[in-house]
Amino acid sequence: MKEVQKRYVCTECGHVETKWMGRCNKCGSWNSFEEETVVPERKTASPASVVMETGIKKLSEVPADKAVRLSSGYDELDRVLGGGVMIPSSVLVGGEPGIGKSTLMLEMIANLSSEGDVLYVSGEESPSQVRLRGERLGLRLDDISIFCDTRLEALEECLERLEPRIVVIDSLQTLSSASVASLQGSPNQVRACCLSLSLLAKKIGAAIFFVGHVTKDGNIAGPKIVEHMVDTVLYFEDAESGIRLLRAAKNRFGSVDEIGLFEMDAKGLHGIKDPTGIFLSSREEGEFPPGIAFTSIAEGSRTFVVEIQALVVPAKTGLQRIYSDKIEIARVSRVAAILERHVGMKLSDQDIYVNVAGGVKLSDVSIELPLALALFSSKMNKSIPSKLVSYGELSLAGEVRYVGFAERRAKAAQDLGFDSLLTPYEKGRLSSGSNIQVRTLRSAIKSAFLL
């Protein structure tokens, strides 16, 4: 009898080691290795015979099946998917437990039940629990089939017999295959089940959605190790203000720049059609503290205005510390260094706190100019004009560089009542009283604070 072999797989990047390690040498993640059993390879036909059976064709001879897109019933979800649900395809929906993934999937499959057979596979809830949730959401449940078996082989037989058009697997971590000698939810099980069902979905012409849980610590195997197996990867995020953000990390059928906005109430998830000012704080007239700067963000086909908040205080230990989870700490550190070098503001002995109102995470390079203005405002204890919106990328030489979608950014700001713009210099476009163009950070600060 052969001795059972073990190996350790990183749940973040899939790197394999023969022994457990505290830190992954490939991606740098800590405590991300999980043990799994190595399944002995079965004897298969020789490569030559496999080639003869499958055959080799010219690419031009392969029949081109027409792609079918269906509306999910959510404009926000359709936007992120690239125009609707593509058939056939495989989609991974990741996010923290309780954020609303199951609710979104159940509402989507109810909307699509009129397009053909749909199947909801529940590995975490009983059929009665799913029904109660559907009734609470006011959904029509007559045309939704449910399957509550977590065995991969039983699920494959069900799919081949029913041949549904839309399948939701809730969740991927609950599935297990008898041919994989490891525990349910292990990296090996998750990879095997995801790959098998993705191939089967394309064979029967179905769109399959995998729900994958991700904890704040990233300890549960799931989305990260199967991203390369699916066509689309969506991540649900909580913006800490009752707003849910849906982003695409990968999309073979559309752009990854789009963002979907939802709000949750007792009747389920609802798309936010006009997000222009949802991330702005409400203040009384005349109450505008230092350290606040507004900027206009372009996310895919949408544009909205957000509020960047900064607080600069003397460091208790004498060494600078930066606290920022909505804007990358490296970006904050770089902007602080540019301020110190080109404006002469010493920040190396200051603690820096950065936040974004509404809890939305920002990665657009255009936030660097307003971030610098917010830091300067907090350090000097002087408020920025409350009706000023700024945007622009900062170079290490202290220059303000042009960013795209200038007209969209300006319109979004003007629609919300902002009457002043501080923007990068654009050739062929002259500055006006309401639109001040600047070439350097020093001149931007002079214009914003009238120094």
Half-sphere exposure of 184 (CA within 13 A, CB side): 12
Q: What pLDDT is stored for residue 237 in this prediction? A: 83
The pTM score is 0.77
Residue 381: both structure tokens together: 């204890």
Q: Which residues on neighbouring strands pair with residue 264, listed in sequence order?
A: 269
Of 318, 381, 380, which Cα lies nearest the Cα of 349?
318
Q: What pLDDT is stored for residue 218 in this prediction? A: 43
Q: What is the pLDDT along the chain (451 residues), one digit of tens a residue?
A: 445 577 888 877 778 888 888 888 888 888 888 777 665 555 545 555 544 455 678 888 877 766 689 999 888 899 999 999 999 999 999 888 888 899 999 999 999 988 889 999 998 899 999 999 999 999 989 999 999 999 999 999 999 999 999 999 998 989 999 888 777 877 888 888 999 999 999 999 999 999 987 655 444 445 677 888 899 999 888 876 678 889 898 999 888 888 888 888 878 888 887 776 677 777 766 668 999 999 999 887 788 899 999 999 999 887 889 999 889 999 999 999 999 999 999 998 999 999 998 778 888 899 999 999 999 999 999 999 989 999 999 999 999 999 988 888 988 888 888 989 999 988 766 555 578 999 999 999 999 987 5
Q: How far apart are CA 324 and CA 169, in angstroms?
A: 35
DSSP class per residue in 273-322: S--TTTBPPP--TT---TTEEEEEEEETTEEEEEEEEEEEEE-SSSS--E
Q: How far apart are CA 388 and CA 134, in angstroms?
A: 46
Helix/strand/coil for 447:
helix
Half-sphere exposure of 342 (CA within 13 A, CB side): 22
Q: In the 8-state DSSP scheme, what is residue 264? A: E
SS (H, E, C) 402-436: CCCCHHHHHHHHHHCCCCEEEEECCCCCCCCCCEE
DSSP class per residue in 85-102: EEESEEEEEEE-TTSSHH
For the four alpha carbons of 72, 75, 76 and 79, in that order, the dihedral sign comes to positive
Phi and psi for 237 in degrees, rounded to 5? -125, 150
Helix/strand/coil for 218:
coil
Q: In the 8-state DSSP scheme, what is residue 75? A: H
Q: What pLDDT is stored for residue 344 in this prediction? A: 92
DSSP class per residue in 129-184: HHHHHHHHTT---TTEEEE---BHHHHHHHHHHH--SEEEEE-GGG-B-TTS-S-T
Query: Which is it for strands 400-401 and 388-390: parallel, antiparallel or unpaired?
Result: unpaired
DSSP class per residue in 307-375: EEEEEEEE-SSSS--EEESSS-HHHHHHHHHHHHHHT----TTEEEEEEEGGG-----GGGHHHHHHHH
Distance of CA 338 to the CA centre of its chain: 29
Query: Which is it for strands 243-251 and 232-238: parallel, antiparallel or unpaired?
Result: antiparallel
Residue 154: partners with Cβ closer than 8 Å, 6 or more residues away: none
Q: What pLDDT is stored for residue 97 in this prediction? A: 81
